[in-house]
Amino acid sequence: MIRKNSLFCKIIRIKTSSKFLFLDFMRSFQPKTVECPICHSKGNCKIHASYSRSIIDIIHGKPVYQDICVTRIICESCGHSHAILPDTIIPYSQYGIFFILRVLAEYFTHLKTVASLCEAYNITPSMLYRWRDMFLQNRSVWLSILDQKEQLPKDFIRFLCLMEHFSDFSSGFFRLTGSSFLQSHANPTALFGRKHF
Ligand SMILES: [Zn+2]
């Protein structure tokens, strides 16, 4: 799996969807420019296959199911194939990054009760608590790696939402921890990312 950074906008002001940014990124994607995360050779990847999956986006404040077509590339040097996932897509999650951050922002700022949040976004309390716990765990890892002082959850989410380029954070998080922000479990190729530091 190869993570690509396409989320070049402030999440809180976003006027678009995860799918739109995904398509926008893939339009200009060139496999020849990719470095293989397994063998680290450059210029040896080509389009291999694709598969469709659905993501749940947030559009005008409402959950919307969208289909996307994920490209797989193959490295002709080592023979491994990799899915290309821009950072609007969380690996193994049906929910786009905007969706989860929006729910968590409303949760941590106490804009709504858990019951009304779950009803508004068509999620269960256990999903909400799982995202909350993952967010808190990822936040602790990030702050401890950077040796930064503790931040309240709502301050950390505000920091993320107001970033000029969210991709700077998401690519840094992936580089330093070997997995994507808010990803529930690690993927095998992510282990190779750790080699870089
Ligand atoms: Zn390779």
Q: How much distance in Å is there from the Cα of 55 to the middle of ligand 1?
A: 28
Q: How much distance in Å is there from the Cα of 47 to the middle of ligand 1?
A: 13
Q: How many CB atoms lie within 10 A of CB 78?
A: 12
| Nearest by Cα to 98 from 107, 106, 89 | 89
Look over the chain and give the mean of its residue pLDDT values, rounded to a whole number: 82
Residue 80: half-sphere exposure toward Cβ, Cα within 13 Å: 17
52 pLDDT higher than 80: yes
The domain spans of the chain are 2-196
pTM of the predicted model, to two decimals?
A: 0.78
Q: How much distance in Å is there from the Cα of 167 to the middle of ligand 1?
A: 24
Q: How much distance in Å is there from the Cα of 72 to the middle of ligand 1?
A: 13
CA 177 from chain centre, in angstroms, equals: 14
Q: How much distance in Å is there from the Cα of 82 to the middle of ligand 1?
A: 9
Residue that wins the pLDDT comparison between 161 and 110 = 110
The whole-number pLDDT of residue 3 equals: 60
Across 41-66, average pLDDT:
91
Structure tokens at 39: 């063998």
Structure tokens at 46: 């080509």
Q: In this predicted model, what pLDDT tens digit does every residue of 99-141 receive, in sequence order?
A: 898 899 889 888 789 999 999 999 999 999 999 999 999 998 8
Across 181-193, average pLDDT:
58
State the pLDDT confidence band at 8, using cuts at 50, 70 and 90: very low
The mean-pLDDT minimum among 38-52, 53-67, 118-132, 161-175 falls in: 161-175
Q: How much distance in Å is there from the Cα of 93 to the middle of ligand 1?
A: 26
Q: How much distance in Å is there from the Cα of 141 to the middle of ligand 1?
A: 29
Determine the residue type at 117: L
CA distance 80 to 56: 29
Over pLDDT 70: what percentage of the chain? Answer: 86
Q: Are 90 and 100 in contact (CB under 8 A)?
A: yes
* Size (the chain), residues: 197
